[in-house]
Amino acid sequence: MTETKNRKGQIFVLSGPSGAGKGTVRKRLFQEMPMLKYSISCTTRQPRPGEIDGTDYRFIDETQFRSFIGEGAFLEWADVHGHLYGTLFSDVERECSAGYDVVLEIDVQGAMQVRNRCNRCILVFLSPPSIEALEQRLRLRGTESEESMRVRLRNANYEMNHASGYDYLVINDSVEEAVRRIREIILSERNRYASSACLQGR
């Protein structure tokens, strides 16, 4: 608790193609690092079976999403796989001000927007060991239609081509090892920054 009183939190962006294991890695990371906060995104896509509104995403309709855009409420937003996804500025600001480090699990378009707007962000790209491994994971997950699979695999190439714009690249060939590496990144980056303003502008 004392740590949160004296420091402003940092933003850690976690990106990687769909099926790279971001969700699994992130959940394990949060078990090990309770001081982290997860930023719950807004999305216009339909919930998958088992997904809970307000926990996994805020599931909103396109009218509401576009009105948030108009109000400038998003720190970042993007059209991903044909649906809109966005991070509310107020959510991130609240947690950072309270001293928590915030993890944004977002795509590469959103990551670049955060980089441009925030002076205390670290970008981590989680990559699958190969495109073949990615396809296998997506099929095992069994949540996507053939059409959605096709779109996600095409986008995977696009995302992988942007990995060089990130601060860190972590290959997810073992969940334990990926979690250990991201944990180390967070711990060492925490020590690198003095407490200063978390977000620029607005």
Residues that bind ligand 5GP (CB under 6 A): 18, 41, 45, 76, 78, 80-81, 85-87, 105-107, 109-110
Nearest approach in angstroms of CB 137 to ligand 5GP is 12
Nearest approach in angstroms of CB 9 to ligand 5GP is 18
Please tell me the distance from the alpha carbon of residue 50 to that of residue 158, in angstroms, as a whole number. Answer: 29
**Which residue, 18 or 127, has its beta carbon nearer to ligand 5GP?**
18
Instruction: Find the Cα–Cα–Cα–Cα dihedral 43, 49, 50, 52, rounded to 10°.
Output: 30
Consecutive H or E run containing 4 = helix 2-6
Cα separation values, 94 from 41, 43, 83, 131, 173, Å = 15, 20, 26, 37, 34
Residue indicated by tokens 């294991």: 21
Nearest approach in angstroms of CB 14 to ligand 5GP is 8
How is residue 85 written in tokens?
């996804």
**Which residue, 85 or 125, has its beta carbon nearer to ligand 5GP?**
85
**Which residue, 101 or 107, has its beta carbon nearer to ligand 5GP?**
107
**Which residue, 106 or 134, has its beta carbon nearer to ligand 5GP?**
106
Closest CA to 172 of 36, 25, 30: 25
Nearest approach in angstroms of CB 148 to ligand 5GP is 9
Cβ-proximal residue to ligand 5GP, closest one = 110
Nearest approach in angstroms of CB 159 to ligand 5GP is 7
Consecutive H or E run containing 121 = strand 121-127
**Which residue, 4 or 135, has its beta carbon nearer to ligand 5GP?**
135
Please tell me the distance from the alpha carbon of residue 150 to that of residue 143, in angstroms, as a whole number. Answer: 13
